[in-house]
């Protein structure tokens, strides 16, 4: 039999991860099928890029129609009807009802691109260089985004000094002993502290890669108040926690924040297509034409599906209410499962959630056992010590329960 290119040694460097040896050929809703037709339930959802599952039929049909009618696919900065429709829909369904006034920028295709644009904009607006970010943060893989990332394994590969940034403790880093930011205020005000006044602070409301650490709402609010007092910009990286993952469209809504800059990507296209937005308050628009550009900033297929996905899921409260019910169901399931391992705890918020186990090896073993039982599920955290559940937000209750039962069985197999 001919060697499959995926089995050659060289293929290791081409792939994102080899945890799942199967080759996937078809996908629909919360399921994927391998080439030989074996079905897997997907609790990975493209690392949060598939919040509405795979190949949503209505979105798929729109793409097929658009291509069949020779719609423009690549347009960079050119105006197209698809881009207009996306911008109008985003304004009407997302920004206006939340009383958020943002300019919308397409900074490039990925989450990393929106983070880069946010950091550059904050530095240009304030004329300051320093950026503060948090322990265990993850913001992307380019040098600017890596400089604000907390994970030293990810940063190490860069091999050269990264741009001017420092890490401060995320909520609960010291087991919840830091209810306010008085310590930070002192450091910022003390000219002897050696800490340059930053241009911005960048934060994830739930640290998706860093172990599903969820910031408390009052912590986020006091961070935002402190930054306002000191005229430091607040950047919320909603690349993973946004687009409904935590139960609301933006993950900061419940905390009542109005960040200066917001990074959005992953599920914004509604279909797993590369797309990113950088949202910023109008008064921060200091960009000169062409100052932040790139070839892939106008994917019209993504505009087409993104606009319709917003209408399908966010035009009124019904999807959000159904999601709230599923979140309760998921939490109840997680509580039941966590009881099997003393010392374990539930992490995250909404549908960006999982279980932290005291033994760092457990989560990886559970994921491997789950794969044997046809469930795709990932781990998170600096030691991959958290099993991370990210089902599609529109998953049916029956499928959610099926996945939870597999995780419970897998945990018993992994620890028994």
47 binds ligand PMP (CB under 6 A): yes
Check if the beta carbon of residue 259 is closer than 8 Å to that of residue 253.
no
The 3-state DSSP class for residue 349 equals strand
300 binds ligand PMP (CB under 6 A): no
Q: Whole-angstrom Cα distance, residue 102 to residue 284?
A: 10
Instruction: Write out the binding residues for ligand PMP, residues 187-206 only, by CB under 6 A.
Output: 204
Contacting residue, 30, 71, 108, 140, with ligand PMP by CB under 6 A: 140
Residue 313: CB atoms within 10 Å: 23
213 binds ligand PMP (CB under 6 A): no
Token pair in block for residue 95: 């920004």
144 binds ligand PMP (CB under 6 A): no
Check residue 274 and report its DSSP letter: -
138 binds ligand PMP (CB under 6 A): yes
385 binds ligand PMP (CB under 6 A): no
Say how many residues touch ligand PMP, by CB under 6 A: 15
Beta-ladder partners of 264: 277
284 binds ligand PMP (CB under 6 A): no
Contacting residue, 89, 112, 147, 165, with ligand PMP by CB under 6 A: 112
Contacting residue, 110, 136, 278, 379, with ligand PMP by CB under 6 A: 110
The 3-state DSSP class for residue 103 equals strand
Strands (DSSP E) contained in 56-197 are: 103-105, 131-134, 165-168
Residue 138 CB, shortest distance to ligand PMP, in Å, is 5
Q: Which residue has the tokens 């909603």?
A: 238
111 binds ligand PMP (CB under 6 A): yes
Signed CA dihedral, 70, 108, 286, 94: sign only: positive
Residue 46 or 360 with smaller CB distance to ligand PMP: 46
Question: Which of the stretches 92-100, 132-140, 194-202, 296-304 binds ligand PMP when contact is defined by CB under 6 A?
Answer: 132-140
308 binds ligand PMP (CB under 6 A): no
Taking alpha carbons only, the member of 177, 163, 166 closest to residue 134 is: 166
Chain centroid to Cα 215, Å, comes to 15
| Site residues (vs ligand PMP, CB under 6 A) | 47, 110-112, 115, 138-140, 204, 208-209, 237, 239-240, 265
């Amino acid at each position: 039999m001919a060697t499959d290119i995926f089995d050659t040694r060289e293929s290791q460097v081409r792939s994102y991860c080899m945890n799942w040896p199967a080759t996937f050929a078809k996908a629909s809703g919360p399921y994927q099928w391998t080439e030989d037709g074996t079905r897997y339930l997907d609790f990975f959802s493209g690392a949060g890029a598939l919040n509405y599952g795979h190949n949503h039929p209505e979105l798929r049909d729109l793409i097929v129609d658009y291509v069949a009618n020779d719609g423009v696919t690549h347009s960079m900065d050119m105006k197209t009807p698809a881009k207009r429709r996306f911008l109008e829909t985003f304004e009407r369904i997302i920004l206006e009802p939340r009383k958020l006034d943002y300019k919308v920028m397409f900074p490039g295709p990925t989450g990393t691109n929106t983070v880069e644009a946010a950091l550059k904009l904050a530095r240009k607006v304030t004329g300051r260089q320093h950026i503060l970010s948090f322990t265990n943060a993850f913001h992307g893989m380019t040098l600017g985004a890596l400089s604000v990332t907390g994970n030293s394994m990810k940063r190490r590969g860069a091999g050269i000094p990264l741009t001017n940034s420092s890490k401060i403790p995320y909520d609960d880093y010291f087991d919840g002993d830091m209810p306010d930011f008085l310590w930070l205020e002192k450091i910022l005000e003390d000219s002897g502290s050696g800490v340059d006044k930053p241009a911005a602070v960048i934060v994830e409301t739930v640290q998706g890669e860093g172990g599903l650490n969820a910031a408390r709402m009052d912590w986020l609010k006091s961070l935002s108040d402190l930054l306002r007092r000191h005229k430091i910009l607040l950047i919320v990286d909603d690349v993973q926690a946004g687009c409904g993952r935590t139960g609301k469209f933006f993950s900061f809504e419940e905390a009542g924040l109005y960040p200066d800059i917001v990074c959005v990507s992953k599920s914004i296209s509604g279909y797993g297509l590369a797309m990113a937005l950088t949202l910023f308050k109008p008064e921060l628009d200091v960009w000169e034409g062409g100052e932040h550009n790139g070839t892939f900033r106008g994917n019209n297929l993504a505009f087409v599906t993104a606009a319709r996905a917003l209408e399908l899921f966010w035009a009124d409260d019904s999807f959000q209410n159904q999601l709230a019910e599923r979140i309760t169901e998921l939490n109840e399931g997680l509580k039941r499962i966590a009881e099997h391992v003393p010392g374990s705890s539930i992490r995250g918020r909404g549908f960006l959630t999982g279980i932290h186990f005291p033994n760092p090896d457990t989560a990886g073993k559970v994921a491997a056992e789950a794969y044997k039982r046809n469930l795709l599920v990932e781990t998170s955290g600096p030691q991959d010590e958290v099993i991370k559940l990210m089902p599609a937000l529109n998953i049916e209750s029956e499928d959610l329960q099926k996945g939870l039962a597999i995780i419970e069985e897998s945990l018993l197999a992994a620890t028994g």
